[in-house]
Amino acid sequence: MKKYFALLLVLALAGGALAQVSDNHDVTMSVPGINVIALSNAGPIELTLVDDEDGNFATAAAVSGGNVSYRHNQSSARKVTANAGFAAGTFFDLTLAVDFNAEGDVDLIVDGVTAGDVDLHTNIAKGAYNDRSLEYSASATYDTEEGDYTCTVTYTMTAN
């Protein structure tokens, strides 16, 4: 019986030792960079120019251009710019009013010349910025011939 009890004791101690054995490994998760910018409710925008009181310019009142939303998860600040692609040689001005630009309205085209990349929002911390309103207005001198003119406004998010 002593042998049987001693055997049980050895097995119990060995089982306890086996229960305490452990191992581990590392689990690595890769989070991809997120840089998203999207327009919503921003179909084609038609600005109809009309004579002003002085007869010097044709102007278009502000027209809603929908909304822009953007988000990122970068450690460094980002910025959003706008660029209006337009053929030179006309005498248009195109202005963009955005509710998130502390500097106020921005001129995208001045006297038919594009202003290039114009900063709309700088020093953007990581996170989501949704449904920022866009509103366009335009004017043209009488040197601009009658007709339809189209420009494409491109919004880009880049490093600050």
pTM comes to: 0.74
Q: What percentage of residues in the chain have a pLDDT greater than 70?
A: 74
Dihedral of the alpha carbons of 119, 125, 128, 131, in degrees to the nearest 10? -30
Domains of the chain: 35-159 (2.60.40)
Ramachandran category for residue 65: left, alpha or beta (phi over 0 → left; psi -120 to 50 → alpha): alpha
The tens digit of pLDDT for each residue in 36-81 reads 999 887 667 777 766 666 655 666 767 778 888 999 999 999 999 9
**Minimal CA–CA distance to 155: which of 32, 42, 34, 33?**
42
Q: Is the pLDDT of residue 155 over 70?
A: yes
Q: How many CB atoms lie within 10 A of CB 19?
A: 8
Q: Are 101 and 122 in contact (CB under 8 A)?
A: no
Backbone angles phi, psi at 102, to 5 degrees: -65, -20
Cα angle vertex 123, ends 117, 124, to 5°? Answer: 95
Alpha carbon 62 to chain centroid distance?
22
The tens digit of pLDDT for each residue in 2-39 reads 666 666 656 666 655 556 788 999 999 999 999 999 98
Contacts of 135 (CB under 8 A, 6+ apart): 62, 63, 64, 65, 96, 97, 98
